[in-house]
Every structure is written in C-alpha cells, then in structure tokens.
Amino acid sequence: MTPDLVGGLESPDYASHDRAAHEPYAPVFVGDVKRELDELLTRYPTRMAVLLPALWIVQRERGWVSEEGMVEVADLLELTPAYVKGVVTFYTMYHQHPVGKYFIQVCTTSPCGICGAEDVVKAFLRHTNAGELGLTSPDGRFTVIEVECLGACGFATPVMVNEEFIESVTPEKVPDLLARLA
C-alpha cells in the first residue's frame, strides 16, 4: 500500500518519545510473566505460534513493542529478530513507538462514516490537543488515530481508549469522556 493511503498510522516525528528507547533494557519475561509464557507454549505444537501472544505481553508490560523487546521475544521463541519485526510490522495493533497514556482509536470506516464519525475524530483532536492524527499531545497523555472497522457498526461511533471499548460516541460526548480519563 502507498504511504499516503495509510492515514495517520505512519505519521513521522516520534522524536520526542524516543528517550525511553535509550534507557537500558530490562527483560519483560521474568518471574510470573515468564511462567505465563511457558503456559502459553503448552497450548500450541510450535514455539512460533506463541509469537503474537508474546508480543501482546510485551505491549501490556511496556506500553509498546521496542526493538529490544522484539529481540527478547525472538530469542525465547527461537526466531530471528528480523522475522519478529516482519510480523510486528504486519499488524496494526502493536505500537512500534511509545504512544500517549491514552491511545484513542476512532472508527471511521463506511458504516460509522455515514453516521458522522469524521466529526467525532475532529472533536477528539480539538479537545485532546493532539494536533494531528497519530501524534501525541504535548502533555504526553493522548494519541488519537483513525482505525478501520472496530466491528461495532450498530453502535456508531465506537471508540477504543486503550483496552476500553466505548459505544455510540458523538462529538458532544467527547469532552465528558476525556474528563473522565483525566
């Protein structure tokens, strides 16, 4: 796909967040988290099959999937780091950069689009101060992106804030919703 079709998902300029990447890397899979991985390995006939679940764990623990995280997962699952990165970059839900404390995904695919999703996106951008899709607000709290079909079309417009799924969001509801997160 051509870069200009990818909407806000590949916006540049993450420089302000890269500090975390230069701190020494502490392994994710120790203690209980390692045991969680070991349990997952019993569910599948291959180690590779645990790749997506393992990456989810990295993101849960660290907020994003860094290259060091990919290397750690690669070692544990006997894969190459390049292979792991290839998989990470295929899926849209793994953050390859740190994101705001609240990662806000607004569905704008056709069914929500015809119910006014664009206005919901605008309201989020205005009230979070995030400026542009894919960028994080100066206070580091909010990142807003457009997302393709969240699968709750009858509850237009659905919005995901981190792991929380919120149905039937309208532009008028946005300020209250953000105030609740504060």
Least separation, in Å, of the C-beta of 106 and another protein?
A: 12
Which of residues 55 and 123 has its CB atom nearest to another protein in the complex? 55
Instruction: Give the residue with the Cβ less far from another protein, 20 or 91.
Output: 91
Indicate the Cα dihedral angle 102, 62, 60, 50, nearest 10°: 140
Q: Which is nearer to another protein, 21 or 49 (CB)?
A: 49
Both tokens of 4, joined, read 């200009």
By beta-carbon proximity to another protein, the closer residue of 39 and 139 is 39
Give strand pairing partners of 144: 104
Shortest distance, position 11 Cβ to another protein, whole Å: 15
Local structure of 76: helix, strand or coil: helix
The C-alpha torsion from 62 through 150 and 177 to 16, rounded to 10°, is 40
| Contacts to another protein by CB under 8 A | 1-2, 5-7, 43-46, 48-53, 55-56, 77, 79, 86-87, 90-94, 105, 108-111, 113-115, 147-156, 160, 163-165
Cβ atoms of 121 and 104 closer than 8 Å? no
CB of 53 to another protein, least distance (A): 7
Q: State how far the Cα of 133 lies from the Cα of 121, in Å rounded to an integer.
A: 9
